[in-house]
Amino acid sequence: MSRIRGLFVTGTDTGVGKTLITAALAAALRAEGRNVGVWKPVQSGASIGSGDTDAERLLRGSGIDERPESVAPFSFEAPLTPLLAARAAGIEISLEAIAAGGLPLMERYESLLIEGAGGVAVPLTHDALVIDWIAALGTPVLIVARSSLGTINHTLLTGFMLRQRGIEVAGVVLNDGPGPAAALEADDPSIAGNASLIEQYSGMRVLGRFPRISPDRALNAKELAKLTRTIDLSPIRQALNIDELR
């Protein structure tokens, strides 16, 4: 498929906050008047209509008026890696079919924030990992990683794998995760130095830290957009190729 105008959001693992940060970035860019959409090519772990799917969270957080089925054309209930979740549903997916599912979104939006499933080495189809899908799209990548202990190893490995494939990394966003913000760095002193060490050893830019949010707190698009003030959005705009759209 031909290169699309978009930015792929991947994680160093599952549960690192990709959906929250993708939604917040979309909300912030749309607040600037940019026609940015969201796309979750494959999701698993809940059924659409439950309110718990990544697509539904993306739409709530970004304020985009779309049907979740349009944002996530391939959705599976089983909490498994996409390959196994699809097989459990009796479906065999391919990169071509996934690409076709996103064509309507590509036509409606100037640029797309594309949220992956788990990390770059997650099996997506019978013969492709998520990184193969990224390479096929031809988009730059934003890495979402935990702020806490262990993130240096996971982030460096993710960046190394992407660069081996010649995939551009727009930057890294560290996520403080859910829970109370009080005494965060006192509880985990590694957080204070993780960003600088990631930059030192990888050459990748850490664009900022996303603050902790209580899991019981439901934020609207306006509130989420404000939280991106801790993130340098310039490389994200550049990766999305939307600077000239202002």
Q: Is 246's pLDDT higher than 60?
A: no
Tell me the per-residue pLDDT of 69-114, one tens digit each, with 9 for 90 and over. Answer: 999 999 999 999 999 999 999 999 999 999 999 999 999 999 999 9
Where is the binding site for substrate, in residues? 44
Q: How much is the CA Rg of the chain, to the nearest whole Å?
A: 17
**Who wins on pLDDT, 219 or 4?**
219
The 8-class DSSP code of residue 46 comes to S
Angle, in degrees to the nearest 10, between helices 151-164 and 130-137? 50
Lowest mean pLDDT among 6-10, 37-41, 85-89, 181-185: 181-185
Angle, in degrees to the nearest 10, between helices 18-31 and 54-62? 30
Where is the binding site, in residues? 15-20, 44, 54, 115-118, 175-176, 211-213
Q: What is the pTM of this model?
A: 0.94
The 8-class DSSP code of residue 72 comes to -
Dihedral of the CA atoms 147, 225, 246, 64 (nearest 10)?
Answer: 110
CA distance 104 to 243: 23
What is the rounded average pLDDT of the residues 26-35? 96
Task: Decide: 214 and 180 in contact? Cβ < 8 Å.
Answer: yes
Task: Decide: 142 and 159 in contact? Cβ < 8 Å.
Answer: no
Task: Decide: 6 and 113 in contact? Cβ < 8 Å.
Answer: yes
Where is the binding site for Mg(2+), in residues? 19, 54, 115
Active-site annotation, residues? 40
Q: Is 3's pLDDT higher than 80?
A: no
Instruction: Report the topology of domain 6-245.
Output: Rossmann fold (3.40.50)
What is the rounded average pLDDT of the residues 237-243? 85
